[in-house]
Structures are given as structure tokens and as C-alpha cells.
């Protein structure tokens, strides 16, 4: 049973709860954040193995948060999966260029999300 910590950064309460429930059912510890600034603070304090990061967020967008996490020594090693409704190939390219380790498009199936997490652990 995994005991890895996953940080979910999602401003939609419905999506956040759904993702948290899915991950908790599969044995992951879940921490949540609702905006870009909180995401950086929680990633630093909680040291999750994986961050599921929405792109469209209040305060700092997911691309900015990803870049910040990947350039800060304390969080550089965390795996970042962008989970977003931005479906253009250019969005994916830009996300991966910011240092994201994977890119999952909404709406996703539970298998797609769990598979992306498993690939990063």
C-alpha cells in the first residue's frame, strides 16, 4: 500500500474533493491547496512526492508554480503533473518546458490520473 504524499492544487472544490477521494482510496496521503501561493508553501512544508497542479489558478498560475517548484532547492525533486483543461499541444509543450513531469488533460478517467501518479513514483 503506497504511503506517498500527493499535493493536489485545484481551485474547484468539486474537482479537488474528487481527486482527493480517488487518491485516498488507493492509499495515498493527500494534502490540498487552492491557489498558486498556497501550493508553493505546502510543497515546501509538506514535501510531497507528487504535485497534481491545475494550470488556471488564483494568485499564480500552474506554469508559474511549476517553474518556482522546479527552481527552488527545497522542492526541485518533487514530481509535477499538470492537470488541466488546457488541451492545446502548445499548452502541453509549454507546461513540459516549465519543468512538468507529466500532463493530464481534463476531463480524465481515474485510470489516467492514477497511472500518471504511478509513473512518477
CATH of the domain at 24: 3.40.50.2300
The parent domain of residue 40 ranges over 5-120
Q: What's the domain count of the chain?
A: 1
Q: What is the pTM of this model?
A: 0.96
41: how many CB neighbours lie within 10 A of its CB?
12
- Helix H or strand E segment including 53: strand 50-53
CA gap 74, 85 in Å, rounded: 29
pLDDT by 10s per residue, the chain, length 121: 457 999 999 999 999 999 999 999 999 999 999 999 999 999 999 999 999 999 999 999 999 999 999 999 999 999 999 999 999 999 999 999 999 999 999 999 999 999 999 999 9
Q: How far apart are the first and last CA of the chain?
A: 13
Amino acid at each position: 500500500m503506497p504511503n506517498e504524499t500527493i499535493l493536489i492544487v485545484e481551485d474547484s472544490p468539486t474537482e479537488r474533493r474528487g481527486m482527493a477521494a480517488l487518491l485516498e482510496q488507493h492509499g495515498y496521503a493527500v494534502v490540498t491547496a487552492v491557489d498558486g501561493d498556497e501550493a508553493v508553501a505546502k510543497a515546501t512544508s509538506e514535501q510531497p512526492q507528487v504535485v497534481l497542479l491545475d494550470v488556471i489558478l488564483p494568485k499564480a498560475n500552474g506554469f508559474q508554480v511549476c517553474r518556482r517548484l522546479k527552481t527552488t532547492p527545497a522542492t526541485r525533486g518533487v514530481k509535477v503533473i499538470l492537470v488541466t483543461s488546457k488541451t492545446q499541444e502548445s499548452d502541453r509543450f509549454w507546461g513540459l518546458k516549465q519543468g512538468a513531469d507529466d500532463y493530464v488533460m481534463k476531463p480524465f478517467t481515474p485510470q489516467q490520473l492514477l497511472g500518471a501518479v504511478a509513473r512518477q513514483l
